[in-house]
Structure 1
Amino acid sequence: MWGSGFTAIEVGLDSLPPLLFAAFRFDTAALVFFALVVASGARLRPGSRDDIWLVLTTGVFLIGAHFALLFLGQRHVSSSVAAIVLSFAPIVTPAIALAVLPFHRIRATDVLGLLVGFVGVAAIAVAGGSLGGRFAGIALLFGAAVTFAFGSVLTQRFSRTLPLVSLQAWSMLVGAAILHVGSLAHPSEALSGVDWNGGAIAAIAYLGVVSTVGGFLLYFALLERVGPTNASLVSYATPVIAAVFGAALLGEPITVVMALGFALIAVGFALCQIRPLWQLVRGLWGSRHAPIEGGAVRVRGNEYVLEEPTLERSRVSTGQGYGPSNGRNGTAQPVADD
């Protein structure tokens, strides 16, 4: 859904000014999300100050600023190049977290990963030739990646009480408003200049409903099921899908330098996430239910210790929509990630 979205952006940019195009995308998504809130009966009104700050942070950074830079940048580069540059976001995240989050530590592998990933982005930019439009596009997309990483880290400072679907609805509305303001302020954008052809309408509908509503709902469901490290691997499937769709539908070339740049960015990510990735590999190769010392048990990579001799079987399983019980009466308590 996200990889093919870059192709839809490329199609829509042929007829629509970038900021207004992005605003229409999130207008559509906001309408769908608010309809889902009404249909599900979820609470719509924010219940705390953190809810309000979370809506503003998501709307301003993850949607408004991020997608403004993305749509402006993709005017100058192919859809596959745009997707590759945006995959830099998980690499720069640790460095931003160090500055924004208290008690966050950065390791040598994080610094090395950041440098390797930056070399990958630079290789793609230099391959485009002179300091012309392509370089400007890469710079804008790099800014989009950094903005997304900053917004993602900043959201960790707030605790959500608002249902996820309501949070998304408000965030889309805030983001769309920011994009509309940006479009009005942009000297070369005007609603009167929009070419309302079939391709433009289809691109708005596909991005708003499929890539945004469908993609965001699936991503957050995945995030809650497998955790942020595993879910962030989506960032490295997206450019591959974007390249395939771009080549098949738009005839965009896939060059050796693009592949090399993407490989360097992927290596940079692996260095930044070397510990959780190693835990993931160990979990995949190790036993699913291996007994360990001290009366504890390991279940799919998570280590639990028993409060009493019995283990509530119905609440232990992880990975099938259940989590470890936090109750009493002989239930398991998580003590560490293995």
Structure 2
Amino acid sequence: MSRHRTLVLFLLLSVAWGTAFVAIRAGLEYFPPVLFAALRYDIAAVFMLGYAFYATDYPVPRTRGEWGLVAIGGVFLIAAYHALLFVGQQSITSAMAAVIVSLSPVLTTAFARVWLPSERLAPAGLLGMALGLVGVVILSRPDPGNVLSADVVATGLILVATAAFALGSVLLERSDAELPIETMEGWSMALGALLMHALSLAMPGESVAAIEWSAEAMLALAYLGIVSSALGFLLYFELLGTIGPIEINLVSYVAPVVAAIAGWLLLGEAIEPATVVGFAVIFVGFCLIKRRRLAAELPAIRTAIGDRL
């Protein structure tokens, strides 16, 4: 894959995932949050499973270990992450939610150290993890006299959602089972959607009758299901095999910029100074944790820039 095509796909993925936060925020005006998330992945699962049957020779898991991969993906990466994200995003801006989610690479490193105790973080890495949490505190701006304010609770929910996604990613890496990524994602989306439907049925105020159907509601749902989920994950898969996990993590730091701009343009959401500062602190923490891998990529980056100049 040429560098130019890689850059275009990277930017497309950043837009697909960054604007997802805006589509969620817009759609929450019309849908109960958990039901909204479940419907999103009903649509995404249909597209992804269809693609798995088309693109792979192994579209259905067969062994207990392979279904274990699906269970991890469905429970942690789809159901827990998105149910908490959608509930939390009722109270905070698209940009703020995207910035909290950008903590995912930092939390993934933390969980990896727990599950792989032989790999210890150097002091700089520990500082990076601490900075990530400081960034979240800056974002939530907790009031000592009202620690259960809507912003603080919403921030906590999205932080737990991000932790669930990070934990799920580490558990997938630890598994010895193998499965085509399209197959794993497709069945995980289907399982996650089923779990969120079950959760939605158990929650007050969550019913199909509560949906306010409109053109805007349908547009938000279709965009999330098709563009941000199905198309977004296909872009992710292709880039993951080309540029690797470290570089693909940088999407987490471009997406908040996209979310902030799109939220401002489409929803009139203000870009608050605390959001910018919190994002910067989290990004510095990420750079400290990944400093060796980032340094190893600098020669290739310099070469690429030199070739273009």
Q: Normalization by structure 2: what TM-score?
A: 0.89
Provide the residue aligned with 1:154 in structure 2. Answer: 171
Shift of residue 41 of structure 1? 5.7
- Letter of the structure 2 residue corresponding to residue 282 of structure 1: P
Higher RCO structure (Cα 8 Å, ≥6 apart): 2
Provide the residue aligned with 1:92 in structure 2. Answer: 107
Provide the residue aligned with 2:8 in structure 1. Answer: none
Shift of residue 159 of structure 1? 4.0
> Equivalent residue of 1:104, what SS?
coil
**In 1, Cα distance between the equivalents of 2:64 and 2:117?**
20
Counterparts in 2 of 1:131-142, with a 5 A limit?
A: 131=147, 132-142=149-159
Shift of residue 286 of structure 1? 5.6
1:69 aligns with 2:84: yes
Counterparts in 2 of 1:60-209, with a 5 A limit?
A: 60-101=75-116, 103-126=118-141, 130-131=146-147, 132-209=149-226
**In 2, Cα distance between the equivalents of 1:232 and 1:126?**
26
**In 2, Cα distance between the equivalents of 1:31 and 1:101?**
36
From the superposition, tell whether residues 231 and 41 of structure 1 become closer, same or farther in structure 2 (CA, over 3 Å): closer
**In 2, Cα distance between the equivalents of 1:277 and 1:55?**
31
- Letter of the structure 2 residue corresponding to residue 166 of structure 1: T
Compare CA radii of gyration and give the structure with the larger one: 1
Paired residue for 1:28, among 36, 43, 60? 43
Whose helix fraction is larger, Structure 1's or Structure 2's? 2
**In 2, Cα distance between the equivalents of 1:39 and 1:219?**
18
From the superposition, tell whether residues 128 and 266 of structure 1 become closer, same or farther in structure 2 (CA, over 3 Å): farther
The question of whether the paired residues in 1 share the 8 Å contact of 2:140 and 2:151 is answered with yes
- Letter of the structure 2 residue corresponding to residue 206 of structure 1: Y
Shift of residue 215 of structure 1? 0.8
> Equivalent residue of 1:5, what SS?
helix
**How many pairs were matched up?**
288
Shift of residue 127 of structure 1? 6.9
Shift of residue 190 of structure 1? 1.6
CA deviation vs aligned residue, 1:94-144 (integer Å, no higher than 9, x gap): 221111236333222221001111111101101789431111100101111
Provide the residue aligned with 2:60 in structure 1. Answer: 45
Provide the residue aligned with 2:274 in structure 1. Answer: 257
From the superposition, tell whether residues 277 and 192 of structure 1 become closer, same or farther in structure 2 (CA, over 3 Å): same
Provide the residue aligned with 1:9 in structure 2. Answer: 24
**In 2, Cα distance between the equivalents of 1:218 and 1:116?**
30
Q: Which moved more, 1:164-173 or 1:19-28?
A: 164-173
From the superposition, tell whether residues 119 and 207 of structure 1 become closer, same or farther in structure 2 (CA, over 3 Å): same
Give the unaligned 5+ runs of structure 1. 289-338
The question of whether the paired residues in 2 share the 8 Å contact of 1:51 and 1:159 is answered with no
Q: Normalization by structure 1: what TM-score?
A: 0.81
Shift of residue 164 of structure 1? 2.1
**In 2, Cα distance between the equivalents of 1:215 and 1:158?**
24
**In 1, Cα distance between the equivalents of 2:240 and 2:164?**
20
- Letter of the structure 2 residue corresponding to residue 110 of structure 1: G
RMSD across aligned positions (CA): 1.8
The question of whether the paired residues in 1 share the 8 Å contact of 2:142 and 2:152 is answered with no
- Letter of the structure 1 residue corresponding to residue 105 of structure 2: P
Shift of residue 165 of structure 1? 1.8
Whose strand fraction is larger, Structure 1's or Structure 2's? 1
**In 1, Cα distance between the equivalents of 2:56 and 2:301?**
39
The sequence identity of aligned pairs, in percent, is 40
